[in-house]
Amino acid sequence: MVRFVIGLWVLLASASFAQEGRCDPHGVDLPEFFAPSVPIEHELFPDELAARGTCFPPGRSIPLGSDVSTLLVNAEREAVDACDGVCEPMRKRLVTLGEDHDLEDTTFQKECGAAASGLPAAVKDPCLRVCVVERRRASARLIFLRTVRALDLSLPWRKPTRLGTEVREWLKRERVAAPPSPIRLEVSGPEHQRSVRAEGWLYPGGPRLRLETRLVAAGCGLTQWGIARW
């Protein structure tokens, strides 16, 4: 009899638990990066493509997690690939785009100019252009993720310290690498519910970026502060 009562209680409790868990809020995911869909052939001329050679994408990195820091590390790894053209010695001289790398276009042009300087005169110019275009395309993901990280840190529930109206100044104080200058960062709303909006181009003539922090649907009729496209 006691066994029967216990068994009945377990059955009822599990049924009630299943009923309570019917609606599971999905939460707010980080926005996904969409790689530039414009083929590199639209950004390089045939002689430049020939100098670049055939390229091999890097081995797929092991997904270690879905937080912004891990995504950034993976993006840095994935930015490196290998090609078999005459520009390869130049590519080997380039520093991998990393955590604190300056992602301004003028910096890419300087880096590429220096890396291409040792090449034969006939291929120097095409290789310089290959370098800049590759740097721009590789940096797009990093710029996107840096922007996501900046917005993520500014979410009201994170209670960021002294987030005034100057996001870049605040990121500097927090020692977090900011997205490059073409990405505009603007703050709006009252102090306890600051919203940050990011807008710009991921590279010159490249895809557009528009992200903001706001209350986003989290499932089951709930809303939660998160990052969304606008």
Residue among 179 and 200 whose Cβ is closer to another protein: 200
Give the footprint of another protein on residues 120-159 (CB under 8 A). 125-126, 128-129, 132
Residue among 105 and 174 whose Cβ is closer to another protein: 105
Whole-angstrom Cα distance, residue 171 to residue 145?
14
Helix locations, the chain, DSSP H: 2-20, 46-52, 68-78, 88-93, 105-116, 121-153, 167-173
Q: Tell the smallest beta-carbon distance from residue 208 to another protein (Å).
A: 5
Interaction pattern, residues 35-74, with another protein; x per rule: CB under 8 A:
-xxx--xx--xx----------------------------
Which residues, at least 6 apart from 69, have a Cβ–Cβ distance to it below 8 Å? 149
Q: Quick check: 85 binds another protein (CB under 8 A)?
A: no
Q: Quick check: 230 binds another protein (CB under 8 A)?
A: yes
Whole-angstrom Cα distance, residue 99 to residue 96?
10
Determine the interface stretch with another protein among 60-68, 144-152, 166-174, 193-201 (rule: CB under 8 A): 193-201
Among 207, 215, 216, 218, binds another protein (CB under 8 A): 207
Other C-beta atoms closer than 10 Å to the C-beta of 153 total 18
Which residues, at least 6 apart from 98, have a Cβ–Cβ distance to it below 8 Å? 76
Which residues, at least 6 apart from 157, have a Cβ–Cβ distance to it below 8 Å? 225
Footprint of another protein (CB under 8 A): 36-38, 41-42, 45-46, 105-106, 109, 125-126, 128-129, 132, 182, 199-201, 204-208, 210, 230
